A and B are shown apart, each in its own frame.
Chain A
Amino acid sequence: MPKTPIAQFQIDRLSILDPSGQIDEDLMPELSDSQLLQLYELLTYTRMADQRALDLQREGRLGTYPSSLGQEAAQVGSGFALQKNDWVFPNFRELGVFLCQNYPLELIYRYWTGDERGLQSPEGINIFPMCIAVGTHVLHAAGAALAAKYRGDDMVAAAFLGDGATSKGDFHEALNMAGVYQLPLVVICQNNQWAISVSRESQTASETLAQKAIAHGIRGIQVDGNDVLAVYAATREALERARSGDGPTFIECETYRMSDHTTADDARRYRDPQEVAKWQERDPLLRMRRFLEQQRLWSHGDQEQLELTLKERLSRVVKAAESTAPPSAEEMFRYTCHALSSRQQEQLKECLNGGP
């Protein structure tokens, strides 16, 4: 009886734009100049909106907040590739994805201030409430994908999650289901190297996260997550395959969480500042800016102008968020079920009257 290899696997890594701003022409996705500029604006907007949230939190004007600093390319590159009718199932650290879908930033700020209304996706934007129970939402994306396939809708479901989430059973159940039913699903992992204080190496003995797709019989690829062009290209290709009935893809974006886990965390307790400094050199905005400058699409003046415009926009957003009247207590009853039980009706009265 011979012993022969019966299956072999390979994981590719895609990078297009290097830290000096050079691109690989052969791999460059089709993007017009104005789309390239749009990508850079979204990257910048994400970073500035994130910084603004951190400032607000420090001033006691926002609750605990998970920063996206350093992960802008992984979020914007993938978010930008989505189409309007696609559905998004986000993690809690996806600011750039939300901004790509034109989700009102005001709502995001309000959510992190403790207002559920911030999760009410406006009509026409199909974003699910960001998932707080890590990794459990990939199944919902798979379910929506299954429903869309059943109905023959032109829709792809995109789920976003972190490296820590790939250890959860629900993540694997979802990938397995997606493989079995060949669902129009793209799962995008932001491997930012940390799950609070647990490093990527301690999270799993796998060489890559992308290879987790293999066991489920679906495609997996790793991309340089600080390269917005590579993330965009990989996501677009995966979306196209899903849309044409060719099944699901798992994309690992290798990036880095430059900030603390949240504003309630202190990363100095568990990670080496030299590691952070090393990743600073691979900043996703800087390399895109260098590329645009080399292409003569961007100048110092453009940069100043953009920052000024975005700063003004952010002031308006913060003002709108902070001038919204708080929700009424009645709302917590209204949205529990479609109708109130007789007991809930009594409780609502009690709640509004401040006593029985």
Chain B
Amino acid sequence: MAVLNLVQAINEGLRQALEEDERVLLLGEDIGKDGGVFRATDGLYEVFGEQRVLDTPLAESGIVGLAVGMAAYGLRPVAEIQFLGFLYSAVDQIFTHAARIRARSRGRYSCPLVVRTPYGGGVKAPELHEESSEALFCHMPGIKVVVPSTPSNAKGLLLAAIDDPDPVLYLEPTRLYRLLKEEVPDEPYRTPLGKARIARAGHQLTIIAWGSMLEVVLRAAKDYDAEIIDLMTLSPFDRETLLESARKTGRVLIVHEAAKTGGFGAELAATIAEEAIMSLRAPIRRVTGYDVVPPLPLLEDHNLPSTERIVAAIEDLLRY
């Protein structure tokens, strides 16, 4: 086992996918000779060549649309979009086509593609480089949304996403790329999609988070007997694990970076309210980004959930 950071784990996952399956091709801007702006594809062009690691023109809709055609033809394209904020021009291709080809063709064609992209804040980057709009994609049936939180689940989830017969949006928390390091098994392995992970077991309350916020929550809750759930797959999310924990602790806190209104926390809260309200001892609480345009670096700390805000919410919940 080697000690890898998250971006190295992704790189290893991509390399192993390319080795295992000739149908896997990578495409994106600057992913070839340059190895990607975050180096996620570092060294892959040299090993696999320009047939399998394709530098594309600067056209996000084009990249995803091309991947849709490749996938329908039988390949397993893995597209990189440089930042989630630039995926917006390809949302048409994702919503209108990737998500629907199986249904529109009644199973004659499918769309086993992966779109990888860095996402989330806390990296003091320019405008549109810190988006966390995962909920938009979770609302669209036909696509899956995956968010890793550690180097080892990053690799396992990526390989599972590439195997998956449906389109998967794989959101890589930019802040974690080089922050976390851990031992990652050398061989290829799969972390199943649709399953959450109990990052830390506990009894007094349940905290649900994903991606970069999981790291913040683990720090914030270190002195509490909290059960911390790492959602990992947002769509389809693991209802059973959430409900079981909510019924056990009776108190639920949801933490995400994205704006509160219509954020994915709303779906989780509604689900828990619908199915486990009789077990709750306190209202469901959310600590989230505010309903504001994602701010530039000088203001971003005001917007991102902090350990202080999380601790305050925990204290509040424990008073019930």
A297 at the interface (CB under 8 A from B): no
List of B residues within 8 angstroms of A87 by Cβ? 73
A145 at the interface (CB under 8 A from B): yes
Instruction: Check if A336 sits within 8 Å of B141, measured CB to CB.
Output: yes
B236 at the interface (CB under 8 A from A): yes
A337 at the interface (CB under 8 A from B): yes
Instruction: Check if A336 sits within 8 Å of B68, measured CB to CB.
Output: no
Instruction: Check if A143 sits within 8 Å of B236, measured CB to CB.
Output: no
Interface centre among B51, B65, B75, B165 (most CB of A within 10 A): B65
CA distance A150 to B70 in the complex (A): 10
CA distance A169 to B59 in the complex (A): 9
- Contacts between chains A and B (CB distance < 8 A), count: 134
List of B residues within 8 angstroms of A176 by Cβ? 57, 59, 62
A interface majority secondary structure: helix
Interface residues of A in 129-181 (CB under 8 A from B): 129, 133, 136-148, 150, 157, 169-170, 173-174, 176-177, 180-181
Q: Mark B20-64, 1 if CB is under 8 A from A, else 0.
A: 000001000000000000000000000000010010110101100
Query: Could you say which of B11-19, B90-98, B175-183 contacts chain A?
Result: B90-98
A121 at the interface (CB under 8 A from B): yes
Instruction: Check if A140 sits within 8 Å of B92, measured CB to CB.
Output: no
List of A residues within 8 angstroms of B77 by Cβ? 143
List of B residues within 8 angstroms of A144 by Cβ? 69-70, 72-73
Instruction: Check if A147 sits within 8 Å of B74, measured CB to CB.
Output: yes
B104 at the interface (CB under 8 A from A): yes
Instruction: Check if A136 sits within 8 Å of B73, measured CB to CB.
Output: no
Instruction: Check if B107 sits within 8 Å of A148, measured CB to CB.
Output: no
Interface residues of B in 128-186 (CB under 8 A from A): 141-142, 144, 164-166
Instruction: Check if B93 sits within 8 Å of A116, measured CB to CB.
Output: no
CA distance A138 to B73 in the complex (A): 14
A269 at the interface (CB under 8 A from B): no
Interface centre among A129, A170, A331, A337 (most CB of B within 10 A): A337
List of B residues within 8 angstroms of A337 by Cβ? 102, 141-142, 144, 165-166
Instruction: Check if A177 sits within 8 Å of B66, measured CB to CB.
Output: yes
Interface residues of A in 166-207 (CB under 8 A from B): 169-170, 173-174, 176-177, 180-181
B240 at the interface (CB under 8 A from A): yes
Interface centre among B69, B70, B164, B236 (most CB of A within 10 A): B69
Interface residues on B, range: 35 or more
Q: A155 to chain B: closest CB distance in Å?
A: 9
Instruction: Check if A120 sits within 8 Å of B240, measured CB to CB.
Output: no
B108 at the interface (CB under 8 A from A): yes
A128 at the interface (CB under 8 A from B): yes
A341 at the interface (CB under 8 A from B): yes
Interface centre among B56, B102, B106, B164 (most CB of A within 10 A): B106
Instruction: Check if B65 sits within 8 Å of A142, measured CB to CB.
Output: yes
List of A residues within 8 angstroms of B196 by Cβ? none
B232 at the interface (CB under 8 A from A): no
Instruction: Check if A139 sits within 8 Å of B65, measured CB to CB.
Output: yes
B101 at the interface (CB under 8 A from A): yes
Instruction: Check if A335 sits within 8 Å of B103, measured CB to CB.
Output: yes
Q: Mark A296-338, 1 if CB is under 8 A from B, else 0.
A: 0000000000000000000000000000000000011011111
B212 at the interface (CB under 8 A from A): no
- Given the interface contacts A139-B66, A177-B56, A337-B102, does A147 sit within 8 Å of B75 by beta carbon? yes
B110 at the interface (CB under 8 A from A): yes
List of A residues within 8 angstroms of B106 by Cβ? 116-117, 119-120, 331, 335
Interface residues of A in 285-305 (CB under 8 A from B): none
Chain B residue nearest to A331 (CB atoms) is B106
Instruction: Check if A143 sits within 8 Å of B102, measured CB to CB.
Output: no
Cross-interface CB contact of A147 among B69, B103, B105, B165, cutoff 8 Å: B69
Instruction: Check if B92 sits within 8 Å of A133, measured CB to CB.
Output: yes
Chain B residue nearest to A149 (CB atoms) is B51
Cross-interface CB contact of A341 among B75, B96, B110, B236, cutoff 8 Å: B236
A4 at the interface (CB under 8 A from B): no
Cross-interface CB contact of A336 among B57, B93, B103, B165, cutoff 8 Å: B103
- Given the interface contacts A120-B107, A139-B93, does A174 sit within 8 Å of B166 by beta carbon? no
Instruction: Check if B92 sits within 8 Å of A143, measured CB to CB.
Output: no
List of A residues within 8 angstroms of B57 by Cβ? 173, 176-177, 180
CA distance A302 to B290 in the complex (A): 75
CA distance A143 to B27 in the complex (A): 11
List of A residues within 8 angstroms of B141 by Cβ? 336-337
A268 at the interface (CB under 8 A from B): no
Instruction: Check if B104 sits within 8 Å of A129, measured CB to CB.
Output: yes
CA distance A119 to B70 in the complex (A): 19
List of A residues within 8 angstroms of B75 by Cβ? 147, 150
A342 at the interface (CB under 8 A from B): yes
CA distance A334 to B142 in the complex (A): 11
Instruction: Check if B108 sits within 8 Å of A121, measured CB to CB.
Output: yes
Chain A residue nearest to B107 (CB atoms) is A335
A343 at the interface (CB under 8 A from B): yes
Q: A165 to chain B: closest CB distance in Å?
A: 13
Cross-interface CB contact of A143 among B51, B72, B89, cutoff 8 Å: B72
CA distance A145 to B73 in the complex (A): 9
Instruction: Check if A143 sits within 8 Å of B165, measured CB to CB.
Output: no
CA distance A55 to B107 in the complex (A): 31
**18 new A-B pairs (CB below 8 Å) besides A136-B93, A335-B103?**
A89-B69, A117-B106, A120-B105, A123-B108, A128-B72, A129-B101, A129-B109, A136-B97, A139-B65, A139-B66, A139-B93, A140-B97, A143-B71, A146-B69, A335-B102, A336-B141, A337-B141, A343-B236
A-B contact pairs, 9 of them (CB 8 A): A117-B106, A120-B106, A121-B108, A136-B65, A139-B66, A143-B71, A147-B73, A335-B102, A338-B166
Q: Which A residues have a C-beta under 8 Å from some C-beta of B?
A: 87, 89, 116-117, 119-121, 123, 128-129, 133, 136-148, 150, 157, 169-170, 173-174, 176-177, 180-181, 331-332, 334-338, 341-344
* Among all A-B residue pairs, the 6 with the closest Cβ atoms: A143-B69, A139-B65, A173-B62, A341-B236, A140-B69, A120-B106
